[in-house]
Amino acid sequence: MKNLLITIIGFLILSCTPQKTDEWTNFKSKFIKEYDSLNISPLQLSYQQNIASIKSEDSVLLQYDFFINIKEQLSTIDVRNISTKEKLNYDLIRYETDLNLERLRLEKQWKTIATDSISTKGLSTLKNGKEWYTYFLKKWVDKEATPDKIYAFGLKEIDRVKRNMKSIQIQSGMDSSTFQEYIHLPQFYYTDVDSIQLAFERLKIEIDTTAPLYFPDVNKITNLIIKQGTIKRMAIAPAYYMDNQQTFYYNYFDAPYNKRQIAWIYLHEGIPGHHYQIDLEKKTDRTALQNKFEYYGFIEGYAAYVEELGVTLGAYKTIYDELGKWEWDLIRSVRVSMDVGLNYYNWTDEEALLFWQKYIVDQDQIAQREIARMKRWPAQVVTYKYGGGKILEWKEKAAKKDGFSLIKFHEKILQFGNTPFSVLENYIDL
């Protein structure tokens, strides 16, 4: 009797599972097809472009009805018997549905605001600017991000970075003023492009040796090309990566080039940063649905995270190489709280500048540039710090377990390619 009962139960499981799997497969296929037919406008850097790209009222309502229907259907689907990869697809659809519904509620609201133009003076000047910023923060960073939490996170990171910079100054054996004079001596700067190129190429050779010890499949990565940037409008960043060219460009336009930038820039843009992560993702067995979405919090955050491993990888050979990482990290950290201040707390430019000057001296020109950038491109600057901080938090938690392996940790966080942090966290077994 017992054997008969087991046989019956087994038959029921086998007969039900394909039906549930088919139900999910049909739902997913229908979602992709109908989602594509909506021609949803992609996320732009500029808030003005994002708002200007809002479609007609009929189109907004059509999208809204679609995602409401998807949300209802998701609640009825049994995902217990689908694979891990398909469960991830389910979670991504749910994630995107929630974000799109938030966007569409704002777009419906925007349609009721009588305006012939979109203010160029920042989100804080819009009637529903706070709501837009809250959405952009989630879209750029993660669905779990909120303005107040991000502001507090920025302050916490400023303190962490400052403590690390102070530690390096103490290690130097100099007092604060002598240290500042010393790190600005000519010996810390390159003045010709050949020297800069050579420094990057030498570091590339060294990291090609150490990176495989801590990151998976480095030997499978396409060769990285390093070149001097020639586009002056791109000079707002020290460097940038072009994945379609498998090249990272460093910006040098005659001004002395700080040697302390070499190591962290290479890690961020090259291996194990953008070039490695993006090329590895192309070699990962991702589904069509995964490839439909990009999550910049992961992409930029991961590249910022690997800068934390400069000593481990042998990139930071001196305390001054490491100092270079913290110098730029301080700017990133200050920008996090400033971004919230300008776009959510309604700070004036003057208030934002005072906040900057509280932590960073003699760089007001950069401050003015960054203030303008944050007002044009709200929330984007948060991606680096939030993502880097999230992965570092996971690493510290995982390292407390017996048998921790850094390479296995990286395998876990990179296994699906770029993924929202609040989704990925459920798949990495911390």
CA distance 159 to 161: 6
Q: Could you tell me the two tokens for 426?
A: 């459920």
CB within 8 Å of 379: residues ≥ 6 apart: 133, 136, 137, 139, 140, 141, 339, 343
Contact (CB, 8 A) for 246 and 268: no
Beta bridge partner(s), residue 228 = 250
Contact (CB, 8 A) for 261 and 276: no
SS3 381: coil
> Where do the structural domains in the chain lie, given as residue ranges?
2-118, 147-427
How distant is the alpha carbon of residue 111 from its chain centre? 31
CA distance 322 to 280: 27
Residue with the two structure tokens 């996320």: 43
SS3 401: coil
CA distance 325 to 318: 12
Report DSSP state, residue 124. Answer: G
Beta bridge partner(s), residue 257 = 190
Task: Determine if the peptide bond prior to 272 is cis (ω within 30°).
Answer: yes
Residue type, 31: F
Mean pLDDT, consecutive 10-residue stretches, the chain (430 aa), reads: 39 44 90 97 96 95 98 93 94 98 97 84 93 98 98 99 98 97 97 97 98 98 97 88 96 93 98 99 95 97 99 98 98 99 98 98 93 97 98 97 96 98 94
pLDDT at residue 115, rounded to an integer: 74
pLDDT at residue 116, rounded to an integer: 72
Q: What is the DSSP string of 236-303?
A: GSSEEEETTTTEEEE--SSS-EEGGGHHHHHHHHSSSSHHHHHHHHHTS---TTGGG---HHHHHHHH
pLDDT at residue 9, rounded to an integer: 36
CA distance 293 to 99: 12
pLDDT at residue 16, rounded to an integer: 42
Task: Give me the architecture of the 2-118 domain, per CATH.
Answer: Up-down Bundle (1.20)
pLDDT at residue 310, rounded to an integer: 98
SS3 352: helix
Residue with the two structure tokens 């009588």: 114
Q: Could you tell me the two tokens for 327?
A: 């110098």
Contact (CB, 8 A) for 276 and 218: yes
SS3 133: helix
Residue with the two structure tokens 């012939």: 116
